[in-house]
């Protein structure tokens, strides 16, 4: 940055730039502090039992292979995916859980399922695929995908398969 300043104002200009730099550095430090606080809150939320799978519950699932309303949301989703053996949509999981647990609030179930799916995606356990025709979003385990963006054909629901493969 080249500036032509009369010599008699140089000291004032240098002081003003120094003050401006200090003010900006204070803002940066404040933003860093806020980001650390947000990261701390996010980490605490992600570690809530709501998002964690319990070993005892996993053993119970392996022994009985039946749905349990005490499971964490991620376990309920995994159970549904195991049951379907196909990519799933959020509303399908919500409808399934509501069928199993009709006393739950549907909007709370939807937000919990969305949060759990998002959490699993961030951890790299699940991926999503957006249907280019309808815009619907499908989720599934990484093993259901050929690569970052393409699901394996055998794990596609029939309606998605027909839309993408047979209706050119």
Q: What is the pLDDT of residues 102-158, one digit of tens each?
A: 999 999 999 999 999 999 999 899 999 999 889 999 999 999 999 888 999 999 999
Of the candidates 105, 76, 68, the one whose C-alpha atom is nearest the C-alpha of residue 93 is 76
Rounded average pLDDT over 36-53: 65
R_g of the chain, CA atoms, integer Å: 26
What tokens appear for 30 in the block? 């404040």
Give me the percent of the chain exceeding a pLDDT of 70: 83
Give me the percent of the chain exceeding a pLDDT of 90: 45
pLDDT at 101: 92
For 115, the 3-state DSSP assignment is helix
Rounded to a whole number, what is the distance in angstroms from the first to the last CA of the chain? 58
Rounded average pLDDT over 80-84: 90
**pTM over cut 0.75:** no
- Residue 51 scores a pLDDT above 80: no
- Residue 63 scores a pLDDT above 50: no
Whether 73 and 50 have beta carbons less than 8 Å apart is answered as yes
For 65, the 3-state DSSP assignment is coil
161: pLDDT confidence band, cut at 50, 70 and 90? Answer: confident
pLDDT at 77: 92
pLDDT at 164: 84
**Of 59-73, 84-98, 136-150, 152-166, the least confident:** 59-73
Q: How many CA atoms are closer than 13 Å to the CA of 123, on its beta-carbon side?
A: 15
Rounded to 10 degrees, what is the CA torsion of 106, 112, 114, 120? -150
Sorted by sequence, the CB contacts under 8 Å of residue 151 that are 6+ apart come out as 87, 127, 129, 138, 140, 144, 145
Arithmetic mean of pLDDT over the chain: 83
pLDDT at 143: 93
Of the candidates 149, 160, 39, the one whose C-alpha atom is nearest the C-alpha of residue 89 is 160
């Amino acid at each position: 940055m080249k500036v032509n300043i009369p010599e008699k104002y140089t000291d004032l200009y240098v002081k003003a730039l120094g003050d401006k730099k200090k003010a900006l550095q204070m803002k940066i430090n404040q933003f860093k502090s806020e980001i650390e606080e947000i990261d701390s809150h996010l980490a605490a939320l992600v570690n809530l039992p709501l998002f964690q799978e319990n070993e005892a519950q996993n053993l119970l699932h392996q022994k009985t292979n039946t749905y349990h309303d005490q499971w964490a949301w991620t376990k309920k989703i995994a159970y549904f995916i195991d049951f379907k053996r196909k990519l799933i949509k959020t509303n399908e999981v919500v409808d399934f859980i509501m069928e199993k647990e009709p006393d739950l609030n549907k909007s709370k179930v939807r937000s919990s399922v969305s949060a759990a799916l998002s959490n699993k995606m961030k951890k790299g356990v699940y991926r999503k695929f957006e249907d280019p025709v309808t815009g619907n979003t499908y989720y599934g385990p990484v093993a259901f995908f050929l690569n970052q963006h393409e699901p394996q054909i055998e794990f596609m629901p029939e309606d998605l398969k027909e839309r993408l493969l047979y209706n050119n």
